[in-house]
Amino acid sequence: MPSHFQLLATDTATAARRGRLHTRHGTVETPIFMPVGTQGTVKAVTPVQLRDLGAQIILGNTYHLNLRPGSEVVRELGGLHRFMGWDGPILTDSGGFQVFSLAKLRDIRDDGVAFSSHLDGTKLFLGPREVMAIQQNLGSDIAMVIDECPPWPCDRDECARACARSLRWARDCRTIAADTGWLTAGHHLFAIVQGSTYDDLRREAAEELAALDFPGYAVGGVSVGEPEPEMLKQVAATTPFLPADKPRYTMGLGTPSQLLKMVALGVDLFDCVLPTRVARNGLAFTPDGPMNLRNEKYRTDPRPVVEGLANYAANFSRAYLRHLTLSGEILGCTLLTIHNLHFYLDLMAQARAHIEAGDYGAWHLAWIARYEAGAAARTAS
């Protein structure tokens, strides 16, 4: 039986990888960006629009979907794919990030995390058994283990305790996935490597999780407030110790240039709310850095945001997109979301092509240099 992940090519100058991930709802060409649909929708766009943009896989969130509408409701209505009208692969985060982001509303215990709902204060509990049951109700193609994401900066002893707790939870999730038939039915379960800024803890966590033979692995605990060089250092300290024949996922980031830098470190999958969130505030991504369409200089600009980037938003001028943004029109959110998601997805398509061509190292450095120089120039102007 063929593996669920094939490594098709590697770059000679970097650790970049070209791969293919098979799931129950389709094949994913990597490296790839996953649009974020936290509550069963990628904000401002439809599933048809996502397909037209080249989205291959999207992300949902266990914590939020369990609060509303409830995972049992989703299961009764045919699972998350049918519920939201998306027939492609779906990865669901376990709610582990909420362990970090909702620190004032939760209590971490050895058997899981007790929460007060951020919506109405209702008490709930997430441990390995609960997060696996919720993700089974949702019908996720890729489920994530529950973990504890340490803050930044983080005391070493505190980080070591979080790593040990996360390892126990990952082992429990792996056992539940095997015992319930989740894995044999073709669903995947990804482990999450923590360790904050401590290279030895990250290596230890990666090696211990690799020994458990998960279908995939994520680099967790990055983009939690640390500067970019430290973030990249954490990714670089983790990926060499993950199995080469399994997909690698860096969670919750980042900018276009950060994605290319992490592809060069051997990462295959990414997700981030950034392209959709900033679209709702009039920011559009371009090869020359982000463009703030609220600026007066775009008031009569007839050009599309990016020349040659063919998507529906390209039918409209910068001037019109600025008008929609300043007027608070919903269409502006939709059009700029279409543009930004296409920009990210097209960038990953370019990365795949250059890895195959064998020139990813030089290409990505030139792309990043142009992007960061343009961003600096726009900031200064």
Instruction: Find the DSSP H helices in 20-155.
Output: 47-53, 62-67, 71-76, 80-84, 96-101, 128-138
Active site residue 147: no
> Across the chain, where does the E strand assignment appear?
5-10, 17-23, 26-30, 32-34, 58-61, 90-93, 106-109, 112-116, 123-126, 142-144, 188-193, 216-219, 248-250, 269-271, 283-284, 291-292
Element (H, E) at 378: helix 360-380
Indicate the SS3 state at residue 239.
helix
Catalytic residue among 11, 93, 147, 268: 93
Q: How far apart are CA 242 and CA 233, in angstroms?
A: 15
Instruction: Say if CB 343 and CB 256 are below 8 A apart.
Output: yes
Cis peptide bond N-terminal to 26, omega within 30: no
By three-state DSSP, how is residue 154 classified?
Answer: coil
Q: Is 268 a catalytic residue?
A: no
Reported as half-sphere exposure (CB side, CA atoms, 13 A), residue 297 has a value of 4
Task: Give dist(CA 300, CA 190) in Å, integer.
Answer: 49
CB-based contacts of 319, cutoff 8 Å, min separation 6: 298, 299, 300, 301, 302
Active site residues: 93, 271
